[in-house]
């Protein structure tokens, strides 16, 4: 009788293990593979998703192990040029809401002119599925190689105000990375917290016009005038010039690709003008000897 009970116990354990395996991993025909053979991500992005498609009926979980390797003439190094959040991807049948999962990539901005870098992602193994498109080559686009995008970052604006006192503020310049937008290569956005006190501290936000000639290694930058740059209650202000035109100057790139200080004509006047309240309408401040230096 002992042997019969022992046999029955072993049979139950074997059956339980078989059921557990059925529930743990997919048993139907499922294929996993990268959605695209190539992907491009920008160096300045926060997190980027590289999609993997899952095709077929699922009745259990699927796991994948992802491998990354350096490829190309200018390879990207893991944990130096990018980070992969998790190389083991688990897909549970009851939690997946679409037929796509993602490898999450965080590029690292090195702030250097290094050129585009590449690496390859490969589905090294899969449990509960067969592997279709096993690899995707990812290019990290170097934002420093795009002169327009290189302007994004911290700058120092210095000038002389109309009381002959030095004026210095740290400003942030930002650029769009969407090349389909009309402002790409044409317009930048600048911002500065607490740039001026008129009884209250005012935060400024304005636009610069932008152009660059690759062959000449030079470009133009200009304060865009006659648009609202700050407001407080019913009051609003703009940049203004004597001519009513944007205040522009030229700048150059040296042999190492560094952007020169951007110096406006010393006698050019940039006015901070209040326009929305008739009783106090007028110029609050005039800047001359304006210079921008990248930090």
Domain identity same for 160 and 262: yes
pLDDT for residue 277? 76
CATH number of the domain that 133 lies in?
2.60.40.2030
Cα 1 to Cα 13, 15, 153, distances in angstroms: 19, 21, 81
**Nearest Cα to 146, choosing from 45, 62, 42?**
42
Range of the domain at 129: 29-144
In a domain, 22, yes or no: no
pLDDT score, position 34: 97
Nearest to 122 by CA among 74, 92, 84: 84
Same domain as 283, residue 176: yes
Strands (E), 115-268: 117-127, 130-131, 135-141, 153-160, 166-174, 187-197, 201-213, 218-223, 228-232, 235-240, 247-252, 262-263
Place of tokens 């800047």: 287
Q: Which of 121, 144, 167 is the last residue of a domain?
A: 144
**Is residue 2 in some structural domain?**
no
121 in the same domain as 94: yes
DSSP reduced 3-state for 119: strand
Which is nearest to 67 in space by CA: 78, 56, 76?
Answer: 78
Q: How many domains does the chain have?
A: 2
Q: Are residues 99 and 152 in the same domain?
A: no
Q: Residue 107 domain-assigned?
A: yes
Q: Say how many C-beta atoms besides its own lie within 10 A of residue 68's C-beta.
A: 20
Residues 131 and 209 reside in one and the same domain: no
Q: Which residues contact 39 (CB under 8 A, 6 or more apart)?
A: 48, 50, 136, 137, 138, 139
Three-state secondary structure call for residue 21: helix
Decide if 24 is inside a domain. no
pTM of the predicted structure, to 2 decimals: 0.62
Same domain, 135 and 210: no
The answer to whether residue 51 is domain-embedded is yes
pLDDT at res. 19 = 39
132, 184: one domain: no
Between the alpha carbon of residue 138 and those of residues 65, 84, 95, 120, the distances in Å are 17, 12, 28, 6
Q: How many CB atoms lie within 10 A of CB 7?
A: 10
Give the chain's end-to-end CA distance (angstroms, integer): 86
> Which of 120, 144, 168 corresponds to the end of one domain?
144
Pair 92, 55 in one domain = yes
Residues 188 and 257 in one domain: yes
Is 15 domain-assigned? no
Does residue 101 share a domain with residue 215?
A: no
Q: How does DSSP classify residue 182?
A: T
Out of 87, 121, 144, a domain closes at 144
User: Which portions of the chain are predicted below pLDDT 50?
Assistant: 1-22
For residue 117, CA distances in Å to 13, 25, 99, 110, 286 come to 53, 37, 29, 12, 46
Asked if 76 and 88 sit in the same domain, the reply is: yes
In sequence order, the 6+-apart residues with CB closer than 8 A to the CB of 195 are: 169, 171, 202, 203, 204, 230
Domain assignment of residue 12, yes or no: no
- Do 151 and 123 share a domain, yes or no? no
| Domain CATH for 222 | 2.40.128
For residue 11, being part of any structural domain is answered with no
Residue 96, pLDDT score: 62
């Amino acid at each position: 009788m002992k042997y019969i009970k022992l046999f029955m116990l072993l049979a139950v354990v074997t059956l339980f293990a078989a059921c557990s395996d059925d529930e743990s991993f997919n048993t139907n025909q499922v294929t996993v593979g990268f959605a695209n053979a190539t992907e491009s991500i920008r160096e300045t992005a926060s997190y980027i998703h590289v999609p993997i498609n899952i095709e077929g009926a699922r009745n259990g979980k699927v796991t994948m192990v992802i491998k990354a390797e350096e490829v190309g003439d200018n390879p990207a190094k893991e944990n130096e040029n990018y980070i992969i959040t998790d190389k083991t991807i688990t897909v549970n049948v009851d939690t997946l809401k679409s037929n796509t999962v993602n490898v999450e990539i965080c590029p690292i901005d090195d702030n250097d002119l290094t050129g585009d870098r590449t690496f390859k992602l490969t589905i090294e193994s899969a449990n509960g599925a067969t592997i279709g498109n096993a690899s995707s080559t990812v290019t990290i686009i170097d934002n420093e190689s795009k002169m327009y995008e290189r302007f994004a970052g911290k700058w120092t604006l210095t000038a002389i105000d109309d009381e002959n006192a030095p004026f210095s503020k740290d400003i942030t310049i930002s650029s769009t990375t969407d090349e389909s937008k009309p402002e790409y290569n044409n317009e930048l956005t600048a911002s500065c917290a607490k740039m001026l006190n008129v009884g209250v501290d005012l935060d400024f936000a304005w636009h610069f016009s932008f152009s660059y000639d690759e062959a000449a290694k030079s470009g133009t930058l200009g304060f865009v005038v006659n648009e609202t740059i700050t407001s407080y209650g019913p009051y609003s202000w703009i940049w203004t010039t004597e001519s009513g035109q944007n205040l522009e100057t030229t700048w150059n790139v040296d042999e190492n690709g560094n952007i020169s200080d951007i110096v406006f004509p010393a006698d050019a006047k940039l006015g901070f003008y209040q326009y929305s309240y008739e009783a106090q309408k007028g110029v609050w401040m005039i800047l001359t000897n304006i210079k921008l230096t990248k930090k």
